[in-house]
Amino acid sequence: MDAQAQTGLIIWITGMNGSGKSTLARLLHQRLGLTGRRVELVDADDPAEILTKGLGATKEDRDTAVKRVGRVAKLLSRNGVVAVCAALSPYREPRDALRREARRFVEVFVDCQMETLLARDPIYKKAMAGEVKNVPGVDDPYEPPTHAEVTVHSNQESVEPAAARVFQALVDLKYVGPTEFGRLTGGQRPKRSRPAVGKKLAGRATRTTARKAPKKVAARTAKAKGKRAAVAPRTG
């Protein structure tokens, strides 16, 4: 097993009801477990999940759900476990607070168009009819992440390529090595990480300078020779 596999981390999957968080979380959990990782799945949207049992749909209850699941996830990750957490977690501040507190945190935003959500989950039609209240995206806000490591558009891509992009992000963050990436994706190779924009510009500047420098040196040398020839005394 790669050296990176000896340390834990949190994969936090957020998105609206019906977006596909649980499906993605289950696949990530399964694949990571097959490679020998110590991994645990916490699905906060599962009615049987004890960490969120008894909580309602108010903002305070939803913030409490993030704190409870986040607390357990931090304990797991500190003990070398990968905590895969699927949670509605509609408010940005509690998610960002967890990011600041966690040592190794990867946020995955599962985005989905409302037309698809309406077909997947009846709660939206009920909310639009006024039958239920506090539904994020209808009469309650859902605040998308501002710096998620991965954004999945579940109405456009299936769960397999979405999972592969999450694993690629783990490689880019050096939480997963190339060998383990191959095991996670059925033999695929990770893409090379792209250099930062600043590094690209610096590299271009260096190459440009390297290309232009010889011409400048040659021009200065020729000019200096011309001056020396002009002032040299005539003989004969």
Q: Is the confidence at residue 208, as pLDDT, over 60?
A: no
User: pLDDT averaged over the chain?
Assistant: 85
DSSP labels, 18-45 = TSSHHHHHHHHHHHHHHTT--EEEEETT
Q: Closest Cα partner for 125 from 114, 111, 112? A: 114
Q: Is the confidence at residue 38, as pLDDT, over 50?
A: yes
Give the model's pLDDT for residue 32: 97
Copy the structure tokens of residue 95.
């998610």
Q: Is the confidence at residue 72, as pLDDT, over 60?
A: yes
**CA pseudo-torsion sign 52, 58, 62, 68:** negative
Judge whether 89 counts as a catalytic residue. yes
| Residues with Cβ within 8 Å of residue 138, at least 6 apart in sequence | 124, 127, 128
Between CA 102 and CA 169 the distance in angstroms is 17
Domain 3-185 is of which CATH architecture?
Answer: 3-Layer(aba) Sandwich (3.40)
Amino acid, single-letter form, for residue 217? V
Give the model's pLDDT for residue 198: 43
Domain boundaries of the chain, sorted by first residue: 3-185, 196-236
Between CA 213 and CA 32 the distance in angstroms is 52
Tens-digit pLDDT profile for residues 105-119:
999 999 999 999 999
Q: Is the confidence at residue 36, as pLDDT, over 50?
A: yes
In 81-176, which ranges are E strands?
A: 82-86, 105-111, 150-153
Residue 187 CA to its chain's centroid (Å):
22
Q: Closest Cα partner for 107 from 83, 134, 125? A: 83
Q: Is the confidence at residue 231, as pLDDT, over 90?
A: no
What percent of the chain is predicted at pLDDT more than 90?
Answer: 73
**Where residue 187 falls among pLDDT bands split at 50, 70, 90?**
confident
Q: Mean per-residue pLDDT for 174-185? A: 93
Given 89, 154, 158, 193, the catalytic residue: 89
Q: Is the confidence at residue 87, as pLDDT, over 70?
A: yes
Amino acid, single-letter form, for residue 165? R
